[in-house]
Each structure stands twice: as C-alpha cells, then as structure tokens.
Amino acid sequence: MSAVLEPTGHGHADDHAHDHPHGWRRWLYATNHKDIGTLYLWFSFSMLMVGGVLALGIRAELFRPGLQLIQPELFNQLTTMHGLIMVFGAIMPAFVGFANWMIPLQIGASDMAFARMNNFSFWLMVPAAFLLVASFFVPGGAVAAGWTLYAPLTLQMGIGMDMGIFAMHIMGASSIMGSINIITTILNMRAPGMTLMKMPMFVWTWLITAYLLIAVMPVLAGAITMTLTDRHFGTNFFNAAAGGDPVMYQHIFWFFGHPEVYIMILPAFGIVSEIIPTFSRKRLFGYSSMVYATASIAILSFVVWAHHMFTTGMPLTGQLFFMYATMLIAVPTGVKIFNWLATMWRGSMTFETPMLFAIGFIVVFTIGGLTGIILSVAPIDIQLHDTYYVVAHFHYVLVAGSLFALFAGVYYWLPKWTGHMYDEKLGKLHFWLSMITFNITFFPMHFLGLAGMPRRYSDYPMQFADFNALASVGAFGFGLTQLLLLYVVIKCIKGGPKAADNPWEAPGGLEWSVPSPAPFHTFETPPVVK
C-alpha cells in the first residue's frame, strides 16, 4: 500500500538507495515500518475473509431448524475456529498494522525501534495462521471446544487441538515482540518537545494496549501449556477424575481473556479519537481525561475476569465483587463517549466515510456496552449465560466496535498511505450496507437469547426459526458487503484523484488543526526575538 519506500533507520537516503530489495524480497525482508504495517493489514484482511466464511457456514446451518448442511461436530469446529481466527488472526493483527504504519509518523520517529524484530513478529503470524486453518484437515478435525478451549473438552481431542495450541503459542510470541517494539518506540523515539501528554490519542491507546499484551499473553501461554501437558505428559491440572480442577482453567483463561477484550477495543478508541476531532474541526474535548480513562479501563480489566464465570458456583461475595467491578468499567467508558459527543457538539461537522464509521461506532458500541452492563448483573447473567444474548453483546462490541473502527481508520488514512483519494460514494455505500446488515444480523440475537436459545448448537426448536432466518440473511449481506471494501481499497491503490497534503480540510479552507480561539490562559508567551 505504501507508495514510497522510505529509508530505514537513521542513515541518508543515498546510502540506502542501492540496498533496497525489490519484488518479493522487499516484502520478505521488510524492515520498513510502512511495509510491515501493510503486510499486517493485508494478512488480517485475508484472515477476516477466512473467519467470515466459517461464520457464514454457521449461519447457513442455522437458517432453519433441523440439520441442513453440517454435522454437529463440524458445526462446533466452525464456531471455535471462527472465534480464534477472528480474534488472533483478524482484529489483533489489523491494529498492529495500524500501529506500525502510524505510530512512527505520529511521534516523529524514523521507524520502529527494532526493525528486524518487527519483521520477525509479522512472519510468525503466517505459519500460525496456516496451523490453525490446517487443523480442519487432520484426523479428528479442528478444535471443537469453543474459542475459549475449555477443559475437559480439550483433553479428548485429536491432533487438531495440538496444532491449535502451537498456533496460539506462536501468535502470543508475535504479540509480545510487537508490544515490546511499540513500547520502546513510543518511550524512546518521540520527536523533541513531544511530551507524553502531547501524543496523539492513537499513540496513547497503543502504549497502554502494549502493556496489557505483555501482561496477559504469558497467562494464556500457561493455560494452554497446562492443557498440553494434561494431554500428553500425564499431568492432571484440569482432569477432575484425577484430582484436577476444570474451573481453574477458566480462571487462568479469563485472566487473559478479559484484558484481551480491551486489547481489541482500546486501539479502536484511539482511532475514533483521531477521526472525530478532524471532521468536527475542533480539538478533542478533555484530552487528559481521555488518557486517564484509557488507563483506568486497562487497570480495571484485570480485576473483572470472573464475570464470565457466574455460573460456576462462585461464592456470593465473589459474585458481588466481580459484579460491582464490572459495573465500574462503565464509568471511564462513559467518560470517553461523553468526550466524543462533546467534541462533535457545535463543531463544523462534515460526514465523509471515516466520520460515518466513527459515529456508527459510537452508536453501536454503546449498545454493546449497555448489554454488557446488563450481563454484569449476576442474577441476570445466570439466566442469560451461554445464550445468544451473550453472542449479540460481544459481536456488538467486537464487530461494531473493533471492526467498524478499523474500517474508519482505513478510510481516514488511505489517502496518507496511497497518495490517492478513495471513491467517497462507494465508501458511504460500504458504511450504510455494513451498518444495516450488521444490525439485521445481530440485533435479533438479543431476542433469541432472552427467549432462551443456547449458543453453539447446530439445531433448535421451531420457536426460534424466524429470528434465526433473519440473522442468517443479514450475515450473508454483511459478509458480501466487505468485498466492496476490498474493491474500494484496490481501486484507491491503483490510482484516483491525488490526495492533498491535508485531504480532510474543512469547506472554506479552515484546517481542522486550527481550532476556535482558546481561552487566553492556554496561549504560551511568544519567544522574545533578540
């Protein structure tokens, strides 16, 4: 996607001109942050397509009651692999791609701190993705234990389970290397004068996310390693028959799993916090409160893990603690949403595609947040646990949250990446089709869940037929709509109107970075010229 290959490191362009690899070598040996960002973005889009095809397999089976196309065992494999591929193969690498592309540009660094490690952390993703997808084609098939890989289901599966565990380990190593790189770059390579509290919000959210990743990825590695030793080396961590405890697996997994949810949403908050001020032609309202809110969310995410486990027979005091701690996260999240609305308030707003996706993000993410608050109430959660209400909730957060923010970021920075403007009409069409089909797919699932339909079942009673048919139609619409995004991006790379230096200038020539006059006390005294 990058139109120009820039010199790596701190040398002069002339020194590097002769040793730039070309063709496939440019990508295989890439150390330039833009090239690696581009690789991550294309990789994540291809994984999005793979995970999307699996999701459409699920929805095709659920279009009507009875078994149509898929046997129950394969159905469970589809649900598991859809989750794993979307989380570890699509959403996370996409945000890392954005980090690679934009963080050095936003902080004035020449490149990422560790250029070769950057290359390695990308290329680790490829064999991991291959292992995950290939597990469909081995005896016993892919993992069918759900994306959470709960024991004791994982203890009886075939070689596909081991391939899945190996893939998770490799992806975890990739994430940790990427995070070390991001933290080092942000803390050590900012341009002179750029203090931490002057950094763009996207850089802040990634700094915090990178710390989260380093903290929780080893925890996931521990959980799946214990699963592996239970399977092959005679340990009994999670085997209840031999004195192990399957619930212990859930505690370890969700101690990783809940911060992981915020790893997938904090960079989205950063992207939206860049886009809203641009198209409102105002500074971001409450910058420092945004930074503190992001940090608060990250810290709180470590103490709420067992709200995924209200049905495991937790003592009442435990339930109360996790219930109140979960509700508390709504406070910093509410601060962020308030600040975005206040930024738009009385701004000179225009509604190009990035802004549409950002506003769509706020609307639909807020619905996901509210259903999260509802699920945090232990007595309600005990009724709704493992129903389609939960499926609706986390898809509102992760599809309308993470994915819509990624779309917004792609449209926002495409002119920067390619030097060309994308087709605005097609971009808006992509937004409206995505928004409508997304809601047709996932909104009915709230009602299915409230009516008691459990998730991960390939068949269901007649009473759930109508909403399931509706959701399946919406899902195929949503999936096909994403091919439009592919078309817009490729068309933009191949050419189109040349992008201006600031492609998002307001009508009338006012640049967004010059807000209305600030109160007098925020102006610094001009330097005295001697």
> How far is residue 358's CA from residue 54's CA, in Å, rounded to a whole number?
27
Which candidate in 273, 301, 326, 437 is catalytic? 273
Active-site residue (options: 33, 34, 101, 111): 111
Which token pair is 11? 């040398």
Set 209, 296, 333, 481: catalytic member: 333
Question: Among 8, 79, 154, 174, which one carries the catalytic annotation?
Answer: 174
**On the CB side of 494, how many CA atoms lie within 13 Å of its CA?**
7
Catalytic pick among 33, 34, 82, 385: 82
Question: Annotated catalytic residue: which of 455, 456, 491, 505?
Answer: 455
Whether 174 is catalytic is yes
- Indicate the SS3 state at residue 81: helix
Tokens of 28: 């295989």
Which residue in the list 35, 44, 121, 147 is annotated as catalytic? 147
- Please provide the distance, in angstroms rounded to a whole number, between the alpha carbons at the two ends of the chain: 47
Dihedral angle, C-alpha 203, 205, 206, 208, nearest 10 °:
120
Catalytic one of 258, 282, 385, 446: 258
Q: How far apart are CA 188 and CA 6, in angstroms?
A: 21
Active site residue 273: yes
Residue 301: active-site member? no
Cα angle 370-337-307, degrees, rounded to a multiple of 5:
35
- From the list 101, 206, 254, 262, the catalytic residue is 262
Contacts of 112 (CB under 8 A, 6+ apart): 33, 36, 100, 103, 104, 118, 181, 182, 185
Q: Peptide bond before 218: cis, by omega within 30 degrees of 0?
A: no
Q: Are 364 and 370 in contact, with CB atoms under 8 Å apart?
A: no
For the question of residue 44 being annotated catalytic, the response is no
Helix (H) or strand (E) holding 117: helix 115-134
Catalytic residue from among 231, 336, 393, 446: 336
Q: Of the residues 35, 61, 162, 260, which is catalytic?
A: 260
The 3-class secondary structure across 438-489, one letter per residue, is HHHHHHHHHHHHHCCCECCCCCCCHHHHHHHHHHHHHHHHHHHHHHHHHHHH
Residue 305, SS3 per DSSP: helix
Q: Helix, strand, coil % (nearest 5) of the chain?
A: 70, 0, 25
307 part of the active site: yes
C-alpha angle 410-415-417 in degrees, rounded to nearest 5: 75
Least Cα distance to 415 among 483, 351, 511, 497 occurs for 497
Residues 6+ apart with CB under 8 A from 245: 237, 238
User: Catalytic site residue 336?
Assistant: yes
82 is catalytic: yes
| 197 close to 286: Cβ distance less than 8 angstroms | no
Specify the long-range contacts of residues 321-329, CB closer than 8 Å, at least 24 apart: 322/378, 323/376, 323/377, 323/378, 325/300, 326/372, 326/373, 326/376, 327/373, 327/376, 328/300, 329/297, 329/300, 329/301, 329/304
Active site residues: 82, 111, 147, 174-175, 258, 260, 262, 273, 307-308, 333, 336, 455
